[in-house]
Amino acid sequence: MTGFSMPTDPPPVLFAHDFGSDSPRPIGLPPGASVEDRQLRFSVDAPTTAVGFPLGNRPFGDVALQVRLGLIEGEDDDLYGIFVRRPVEGPRQGRFACFMMGPGGRVAVWGYDGQAFHPVIDGPLGQGLTFAPGRGDSNLFQAVVAGPQVTFFLNQAVIIGLSLDLPLSVGEVGVFVHHGATSARATIGVDWVHVSALMAPNVYR
C-alpha cells in the first residue's frame, strides 16, 4: 500500500536570524531601520502612524513566527509587536492581522482591511500574564498561522485565537509599530526572528 511515510525531520526553518550575531544580515533595510547595539532598530517619527516592516523578504504560507523585541523609545500610547498574512500583490494586497503591546500593558489585536483598522481586542493585559514593560526590555511575540486561523502568544502564553474574516492563505510576516501622538518617535529593537513551517515534510510512496 502506498501513502505518506512518517517524517524523520522536524518542520523546516524558513527564515531565522539573530541580530546579535556576526553573521551577514539576511534582509535589506528600508528607511527608518538600522542594525545597532546588536539589534535591528526600526523607528517611526510621524504621529498616529502605523508601519509594518516585513522579515524574510518573501511571503509565507502556514508558519510559526517567533520574534523577540522591545520598545527602545516611546510613550504609553505607542504600540509594538508583529503582523502576519500581508499579501504583496493581488486584490487582498495590504491586508493583515497584527498583535501589539504598549509599555503600560495595553494589548491590541487589530485587523486591517486595506483602508482601516478593526480592533479585535484593545485593552489591559489579563492578570497572571508575563510582560516586561520597561524601555529596552524584550518580550517574545509569537504567532501560529494556519489557513484563516491565527493564534497570537506573548511570552509563550496564548493571548487570542481568531479566524480572519477574509481568509488570507499567503503573506508577509514581520514587526509592527503604531506611533501615538505623545512621543517624538517610537523605536523598537529586534533581538532575533525565527519562522518555521508547521509540519515536517512527508514522502509520498
Give tens-digit pLDDT for 80-120: 999 998 776 766 767 888 999 999 999 999 988 888 888 99
Average pLDDT of the residues in 137-158: 94
Task: Considering only residues 10 and 99, tell me which one the structure prediction assigns the higher pLDDT.
Answer: 99
Share of the chain above pLDDT 90, in %: 58
Q: Say which residue the cell 509540519 belongs to.
A: 199
**Any bridge partners for residue 107, and if so which?**
101, 123
Q: How far apart are CA 60 and CA 4, in angstroms?
A: 24
Q: Burial-class residue 82 by CB neighbours within 10 Å (0-12, 13-18, 19+).
A: buried
The single-letter code of the amino acid at 156 is: Q
Average pLDDT of the residues in 121-145: 93
* Residue of 201, 202, 196 whose CA lies nearest to 66: 196
Query: How many residues would you count in the chain?
Result: 205
For residue range 158-191, list pLDDT tens digits in order: 999 988 766 567 889 999 999 999 999 999 999 9
Average pLDDT of the residues in 119-139: 92
In this model, does residue 48 exceed pLDDT 50?
yes
**Residues 177 and 54 sit within 8 Å (Cβ to Cβ):** no
Whole-number average pLDDT of the chain: 88
